[in-house]
Amino acid sequence: MTKTVDSYRFLDYLTRKLVQAWINRESPRPIPWTPLARPLADCTVAMISSGGIALKTDRPFDQEGERQNPWWGDPSYRILPRTASTEDVAIYHLHINPSFAQQDLNCLFPSQRLLNLETTGMIGRSALHHYSYMGYILQPQTLLEESTPAMIRHLQEDAVDVVVLVPA
């Protein structure tokens, strides 16, 4: 039995059509694949989520700016410790239903699952820090030119070998 995933199920009709039109304008490109230099069991693994997750003690992502201008999204990012739990964080994202992650953060940010993989020896270790930004940024210039290079610097400082991208 084949199951089809509907990536657009949470979008309204007009937004769905707009996003599909944008995607159809892109030509397929090769994926820049880099093989691991050592076994995964020896690697440090970090996560980056587009779920708009922040520690409750941190500055919230700016949802009001997006409410006023739906073409804008907060391009900043937040650093989350490897031990972040459901009780430690808040979800600031206007385009997802946060109720599932408010019950179990692992459905949006599987930090506990990553720690389990560390315990079983499947990975070398979970990185000290993970990262989150708000997905659905229609003007990504600041995200790409400022936030992404800053996250990469942090990943390099933590000697991260593998990054798991967790889309919201």
- The pLDDT score that the predictor gives to residue 69 is 84
Alpha carbon distance 67, 25 (integer Å): 27
- The pLDDT score that the predictor gives to residue 117 is 97
| Single pTM value for the model | 0.83
* Residue 141 and residue 71 in contact, taking contact as beta carbons nearer than 8 Å: no
pLDDT at 78 over 90: yes
- The pLDDT score that the predictor gives to residue 71 is 77
Burial of 125 (0-12, 13-18, 19+ CB in 10 A): middle
- Tens of pLDDT, residues 109-163: 999 999 999 999 999 999 999 999 998 888 889 999 999 999 999 999 999 999 9
- The pLDDT score that the predictor gives to residue 34 is 84
- Tens of pLDDT, residues 9-50: 767 788 888 888 988 888 888 888 888 989 999 999 999 999
- The pLDDT score that the predictor gives to residue 61 is 95
